[in-house]
């Protein structure tokens, strides 16, 4: 799980597009903290720090303790917007977190065991079907990733979400038989296997 990160912000008196543009001109990133049965709170974050946090990775699975005028709020980013041309942050949405709360997060899938896979050794190619999965997890136990081992996979075999041991307290939000990664045959092998099958088909017709 990612460590809880501390971040300071300042309160914004006004919301709306005009106010947000004014915040950006001051070298800050407009943001909002919502949820938890409380009113939405408009804040502004330091531009450079926010950009570094986003591009450091795991931003949407990192819990932040946001300090505004001495008051600290624990929250997790739910969405962020980047400028489509210059690729810098223009807005962030944070969700307030309560103790023991379960939340949905999208977690990356890390594929391991490629060097041991019988299928890969025979010339097969790994095909990653899902690069991430959505999980329902305790807010204080968010995994950075889950591992999908292909060490035992031969050509034509797959790893499904149901094959993965999820972290304690985590549950899949999608069907557990969803395919994460498979080993596909090389094109040459497909052609060699298809030729005898085609010949047998023609013989049956004769």
Q: What percent of the chain has pLDDT over 90?
A: 64
What 3 state SS string does 3-21 have? CCEEEEEEECCCCCHHHHH
Residues 94 and 108 in one domain: no
Q: What is the pLDDT of residues 60-70, one digit of tens each?
A: 989 999 999 89
Torsion of Cα atoms, 32 then 35 then 41 then 47, to 10° = -30
The total domain count for the chain is 2
Residues 21 and 89 in one domain: yes
**Residue 205: pLDDT above 60?**
no
Residues 92 and 128 in one domain: no
Residues 17 and 92 in one domain: yes
Domain boundary among 62, 82, 98: 98
Give the structural domain span for 130: 103-192
**Residue 204: pLDDT above 60?**
no
**Residue 123: pLDDT above 70?**
yes
CATH code, domain carrying 46: 2.40.240.10
SS3 188: helix
pLDDT of residue 104: 92
Q: Phi/psi class of residue 37: alpha, beta or left (left: φ > 0; alpha: ψ in -120 to 50)?
A: left
Domain boundary among 67, 98, 129: 98
Q: What is the pLDDT of residues 129-148, one digit of tens each?
A: 999 999 999 988 888 899 99
**Residue 118: pLDDT above 50?**
yes
Is 198 domain-assigned?
no
Is 205 domain-assigned?
no
- Region 4-16: mean pLDDT is 84
CATH code, domain carrying 163: 2.170.120.20
**Residue 206: pLDDT above 50?**
no
**Residue 121: pLDDT above 90?**
yes
User: How far, in Å, CA of 172 to CA of 118, rounded?
Assistant: 28
Is 39 domain-assigned?
yes
User: Which of 19-28, 73-82, 132-141 is least confident?
Assistant: 19-28
Is 197 domain-assigned?
no
Residues 188 and 157 in one domain: yes
**Residue 15: pLDDT above 70?**
no
Residues 90 and 144 in one domain: no
Residues 79 and 17 in one domain: yes
Residues 89 and 128 in one domain: no
For all residues of the chain together, what is the average pLDDT?
86
Instruction: Residue count of the chain, please give it.
Output: 206
Residues 84 and 108 in one domain: no
Which residues, at least 6 apart from 168, have a Cβ–Cβ distance to it below 8 Å? Answer: 141
**Residue 71: pLDDT above 60?**
yes
pLDDT of residue 14: 65
Residues 58 and 124 in one domain: no
Split at pLDDT 50, 70, 90, the class of 189 is: low
Q: Which residues of 30-54 are buried (b: 16+ CB within 10 A; e: fewer)?
A: bbbbebeeeeebbbbbbbeebbebb
């Amino acid at each position: 799980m990612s460590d809880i990160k501390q971040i300071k912000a300042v309160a914004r008196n006004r919301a709306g597009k005009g106010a947000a543009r004014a915040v950006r001109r001051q070298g800050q990133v407009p943001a909002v903290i919502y949820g938890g049965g409380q009113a939405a709170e408009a804040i502004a974050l330091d531009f450079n720090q926010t950009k570094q946090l986003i591009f450091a990775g795991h931003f949407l699975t990192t819990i932040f303790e946001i300090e505004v005028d001495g008051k600290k709020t624990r929250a997790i980013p739910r969405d962020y917007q980047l400028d489509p041309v210059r690729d810098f942050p223009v807005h962030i949405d944070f969700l307030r977190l309560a103790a023991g709360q379960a939340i949905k997060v999208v977690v990356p899938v890390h594929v391991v065991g490629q060097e041991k896979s019988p299928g890969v050794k025979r010339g097969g190619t790994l095909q990653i079907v899902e690069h991430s999965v959505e999980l329902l997890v305790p807010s204080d136990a968010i995994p950075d990733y889950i591992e999908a081992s292909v060490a035992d996979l031969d050509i034509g075999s797959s790893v499904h979400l149901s094959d993965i041991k999820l972290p304690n307290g985590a549950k899949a939000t999608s069907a557990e038989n969803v395919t994460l990664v498979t080993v596909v045959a090389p094109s040459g092998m497909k052609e060699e296997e298809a030729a005898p099958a085609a010949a047998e088909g023609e013989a049956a017709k004769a």
